[in-house]
Amino acid sequence: MYTQELVARLYKRMSLIRRFELRLAEIYHTDAIKSPVHLSVGQESIAAAVCDPLDQGDMVSNTYRCHATYIAKGGDLNEMMAELYGKATGCAGGKAGSMHLVDIKKGILGASAVVGTTIPVATGYALALKREAKTTGHQRIMVSVFGDGGTEEGCFYESMNFAALHQLPILYVCENNRLAIHTPLEKRWATDKLCERVATYGIETHKITTADVFEVRDTVAKAVNQLRHAGKGPIFLECATYRWLEHVGPRDDHDDPYRDLEEYQHWKENDQIVRLAKMLDAATLQQLEDEITAEISTAEAFAEKSPYPAAEELFAHVYAN
């Protein structure tokens, strides 16, 4: 039903994200990485599926848990690793770290550690893209990715209203892992009818509970097509997913009381990387894994040999020129 090319492409993106992050977890104790890391292990299928139908000119914004969309949107791996190492060759000059990955030429708008704040910024960017299309004749799309916690911020609802009123070319994607640090959804929301809440703003919504990489990709492809050609937005997508490692840091925290082992087991059995590996022949799989190994070790070597930023760089890029 799905072409081998698509399966291989999605598999490679998901596996690259996971193996890159698991490598970070391995080297984290050495202090080579100079910033906290919020890993997406277990959540890879959403970023891979969301970014696959996008063009390079389309934009993505994310939160501090931004490694997955950065990689899935084609962000430069060497610059990403160098940024984590705090090196001058990093995507933000080595001064921003893991929570602020950016690559404008690849359509990665940047991220923020402050929950919810990227949502209005992405909404404003979508307004700019709508205006730009009037002169270029080509509608670029904005995709704003955030967690369930982001939807608890007032600016989320202000953004929904503004985007709906102005029919902006933006796809909102909520990665709903049901956790905000250690607090599960049941202790934060009176009802989990998120799509119903958003729909009251006059926004088309979709909810995917399976994290099925093909289902998410197909839904996003249709949404992108509609935003690009029908001139009607926004669209809201809620994707269920699950974070396998601790909120921040490299540790597996399944012994912590806030975790539900049965839930974790359910998600492990639904691992889209394992699923897609079974759809590929052994030679293709080996080739993809070899490519990933090479890309990660090239990035690591690049980061290691890069210099730290010069002292006089300290105050550069603090204010807009």
Ligand X SMILES: Cc1ncc(C[n+]2csc(CCOP(=O)(O)OP(=O)(O)O)c2C)c(N)n1
Q: Quote the tokens at residue 129.
A: 């893209």
Nearer to ligand X, 114 or 274 (CB): 114
Nearest approach in angstroms of CB 164 to ligand X is 22
Is residue 185 within the footprint of ligand X (CB under 6 A)? no
106 to 135, contacts with ligand X by CB under 6 A?
113-115
- What's the min distance (Å) between Cβ of 138 and ligand X? 32
Q: Closest CB to ligand X among 102 and 179?
A: 179
Tokens of 98: 């893991």
Q: Which of 70-78, 120-128, 179-187, 250-258 is the region at the interface with ligand X (rule: CB under 6 A)?
A: 179-187
Check if the beta carbon of residue 60 is closer than 8 Å to that of residue 69. Answer: yes
Q: Which two tokens stand for residue 318?
A: 């603090």
Least gap, CB of 191 to ligand X (angstroms): 17
Report the residue closest to ligand X, judged by CB. Answer: 147
From 21, 44, 148, 238, residue interacting with ligand X (rule: CB under 6 A)? 148
Nearest to 44 by CA among 263, 218, 273: 273
**Given the complex with ligand X, which of 36 and 93 has the nearer CB atom?**
36
CA distance 15 to 44: 8
Our CB check for ligand X shows the closer of 86 and 116 to be 116
Contact 169, 210 (CB under 8 A): no
Residue in 71, 179, 213, 220 binding ligand X, rule: CB under 6 A: 179
**Nearest approach, Cβ of residue 162 and ligand X (Å):** 19
Amino acid at 203: I
Q: Give the separation between CA 230 and CA 3, rounded to whole angstroms.
A: 27
Q: 152-189 b/e with 16+ CB inside 10 Å = b? A: ebebbbebbebbbeebbbbbbbbbbbbbbeeebbeeee
Interface residue with ligand X, options 147, 233, 234, 250 (CB under 6 A):
147
Binding of residue 100 to ligand X (CB under 6 A): no
180 in contact with ligand X (CB under 6 A): yes
Distance CA 159, CA 163 (A): 6
Instruction: Name which of 123 and 177 has its Cβ closer to ligand X.
Output: 177
Q: Which of residues 240-299 bind ligand X (CB under 6 A)?
A: 247
Tell me how far, at minimum, the Cβ of 276 lies from ligand X, in Å.
23
* Nearest distance in Å: CB 160, ligand X: 16
How does DSSP classify residue 53?
A: T
140 phi and psi angles, rounded to 5 deg: -80, 155
Q: How far apart are CA 308 and CA 247, in angstroms?
A: 28
Binder of ligand X out of 12, 13, 18, 65 (CB under 6 A): 65
Residue 84 host element (H or E): helix 77-84
The rounded distance, in Å, linking the Cα atoms of 238 and 122 is 17
Q: Does 177 bind ligand X (CB under 6 A)?
A: yes
Structure token pair of residue 44: 């890879």
Question: Cβ-count burial of 221 within 10 angstroms (0-12 exposed, 13-18 middle, 19+ buried)?
Answer: middle
Q: Three-state SS for 210?
A: coil
CB of 149 to ligand X, least distance (A): 3
Contact mark string toward ligand X, 21..60, x via CB under 6 A: ----------------------------------------
- Name residues whose C-beta falls within 8 Å of residue 192's C-beta, 6 or more positions apart in sequence: 185
Residue 149 near ligand X by CB under 6 A? yes
Q: Is the CB of 88 or the CB of 248 nearer to ligand X? A: 248
Q: Which residues bind ligand X (CB under 6 A)?
A: 65, 113-115, 147-150, 177, 179-181, 247
